[in-house]
Structure 1
Amino acid sequence: MKRSAFLLLLAAVAIVANLPARSIGQQEAGTTPVANDLPGDEQEAAAGEASDAAQIDGELESDSGVETQRLPPGYSEIITNSQRRKIYQIQQGYQSQIDVLQRQIAALVTSRDAEIGAVLDPQQQQVLKFILEIRERNRTEMEQTISTQRGVTSPQANGPVTAEPALEDTELTPIE
């Protein structure tokens, strides 16, 4: 069994090694990744598929307005444009169900977090709120530091970062 898995992996590497070098998301005009291996008539058909795929990509982009369809990792290197269209159709068929489930997950997470927060007494809730505020300030400061180091200035949506309150200035009562 191990040998067959190794041979399969070796074959996949050999296929990928023979593909034309290109950047992710870029495709040579009028070709599919395997079009160069096809006879002349089939290359013309593949070129037609490439323009069809570009139209499909454009339609998907304009229909959604936000996000274009994406192939699973590694697929773009090995599929034809007709397979690409089929995959996009499959993805579209599942997307509404996925959206419903993601909204349900978000509602469940919110409900779970509310129940977990209810376990804490008011003092613990106050301490937790303080801890989370400190973490958020640290995260914001870190993002600003990284942006500054890269030479990018990010707009501050929440206004300027205020000085962090000293731990001594915070009224905390002992937990019994």
Structure 2
Amino acid sequence: MAIFISAKRSDAPSNSMATSAQPSNVDRRSRTYSRIFYRVCAQVIFSAPDAWAIDCNLPVLQDSQPPEIVSTGTWTEGEIGLAIDPFFYKERLVNEAGMPDLFNTWQIIGITREDTPWIESQCGKIFSRDRERPHWTAVQQTDAWNDDSGRSAYLLRLRMLRHNTEGQ
């Protein structure tokens, strides 16, 4: 499976992914600072008008237009959320010229479902998770169509069995 950048941290400034020719830390790395967000220092390994990929010791992509200052070979730092590719890499992006192979082989060693209560916004039209009362439940399998009326989120604990380094 391939991993993609699902979101930049919502409370981070919009320019939270900064780029430079020289990284502040030459080490490709990611550091967890919440259950779903990571602070990364990474090199851009692919850039196209509709997608870009970075290597933070794990190749990941974002299926959207990259910032103007991003190009292959530059470095970037920022806070990101990661998720499993919902097929846009496998079905479309894998065939783009220059796109590196982002597939790795994983073993699922645990699944946790987010059961944090939903709260209504002040205007009464938007619902979001109550970050003051986070709740996660260990489950044996996912059921994304039915859990939480199809709005469920899962946290997978994974063990990498094969890290693809071809072309990197």
- Scaled by the length of structure 1, the TM-score of the pair is 0.19
Give the structure with the higher percent strand.
Answer: 2
Name the larger-Rg structure: 1
Give the structure with the higher percent helix.
Answer: 1
* Bigger RCO of structures 1 and 2 (CA < 8 A, at least 6 apart): 2
